[in-house]
């Protein structure tokens, strides 16, 4: 592994302290979310470098801004998705990218493969986040990815044209940013687009299939949280230990593997 200069640690500490303070002030993250993001950010800056960190930061800033915009335009509806992001959200989206860098460094992987894995993970996370956010703007009822039946917004595995539009927008932004930062050559940035679409689709399939689903005893909605309307909801299908964050972690890891595999074969 490359030697890490003391300056890199100072640099990381200063950057992360500034971002942590700003995230708390703007209420992008709660306190535990800030703690998780400092650990993830530190690992990425030290093991990957600043351009890797900038990619994750862009994802975080854009998706937080889009969440705000969505809440302002259509209200806090219909799912209790984290408006202030928590440590679970930070880990669900940041763990696979961090592990990709860590594993690549430990295995002395080629920089190109590491970059591909990292982009595959962050790209899938970003695509899935914007798919959820932009999908909420869809006026009709989304359909379940497995049987195309109309379902309520916020049902795990629900898809809509707006959702896929959000997914593709995210991937185009991410491809452009990573290319501009020099983190990925053009062909890899382009490959990110199909990989991210596949990753997001897998996320929806897992959401519809194995993710735990509950029916609220009060309002009757099918929800992904074991609590709704301030009371425990009834478990109806899926595995209880597979929640939305776990599904995210699996799909972002698959995104990493797919783009790294594409980079090795190109
Ligand atoms: Zn309810």
Can you give the pTM of this predicted structure? 0.91
H helix or E strand, kind and range, residue 89: helix 87-106
Burial of 108 (0-12, 13-18, 19+ CB in 10 A): exposed
Q: Write down the domain spans for the chain.
A: 6-265
Mean pLDDT of the chain: 91
Please, are residues 105 and 52 in contact by the beta-carbon 8 Å criterion?
no
Q: For the ranges 62-71, 114-123, 141-150, which has the lowest average pLDDT?
A: 62-71
Q: Ligand 1 centre from 180 Cα, in Å?
A: 45
Please, are residues 97 and 253 in contact by the beta-carbon 8 Å criterion?
no
Please, are residues 153 and 75 in contact by the beta-carbon 8 Å criterion?
no
For residue range 15-39, list pLDDT tens digits in order: 999 999 999 888 888 899 999 999 9
Angstrom distance (rounded) from CA 136 to CA 69: 12
pLDDT, residue 4, reads 74
For residue range 68-82, list pLDDT tens digits in order: 898 888 876 555 555
Radius of gyration of the chain (CA): 18
Percent pLDDT > 70 in the chain is: 96
Angstrom distance (rounded) from CA 123 to CA 166: 12
Residue 170 reports pLDDT greater than 60: yes
Q: Ligand 1 centre from 213 Cα, in Å?
A: 13
Q: Ligand 1 centre from 211 Cα, in Å?
A: 18
Q: Ligand 1 centre from 222 Cα, in Å?
A: 8
């Amino acid at each position: 592994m490359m030697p890490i200069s003391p300056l890199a640690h100072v640099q990381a500490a200063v950057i992360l302290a500034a971002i942590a303070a700003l995230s708390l002030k703007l209420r992008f993250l709660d306190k535990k979310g800030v703690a998780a993001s400092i650990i993830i950010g530190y690992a990425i800056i030290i093991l990957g470098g600043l351009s890797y960190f900038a990619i994750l930061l862009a994802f975080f800033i854009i998706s937080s801004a889009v969440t705000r915009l969505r809440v302002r335009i259509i209200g806090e509806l219909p799912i209790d998705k984290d408006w202030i992001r928590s440590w679970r959200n930070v880990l669900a989206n940041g763990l696979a990218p961090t592990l990709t860098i860590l594993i690549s460094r430990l295995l002395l992987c080629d920089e190109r493969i590491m970059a591909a894995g990292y982009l595959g993970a962050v790209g899938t996370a970003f695509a899935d986040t914007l798919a959820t956010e932009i999908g909420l703007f869809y006026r009709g009822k989304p359909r379940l990815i497995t049987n195309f039946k109309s379902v309520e917004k916020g049902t795990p595995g629900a898809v809509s044209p707006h959702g896929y539009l959000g997914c593709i927008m995210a991937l185009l932004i991410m491809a452009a940013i990573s290319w501009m930062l020099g983190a990925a050559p053009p062909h890899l940035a382009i490959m990110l687009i199909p990989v991210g679409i596949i990753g997001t689709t897998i996320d929806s399939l897992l959401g519809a299939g194995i993710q735990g689903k509950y029916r609220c005893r009060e309002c009757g909605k099918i929800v992904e949280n074991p609590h709704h309307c301030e009371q425990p909801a009834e478990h109806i299908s899926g595995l209880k230990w597979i929640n939305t964050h776990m599904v995210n972690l699996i799909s972002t890891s698959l995104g990493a593997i797919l783009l790294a595999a594409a980079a090795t074969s190109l």
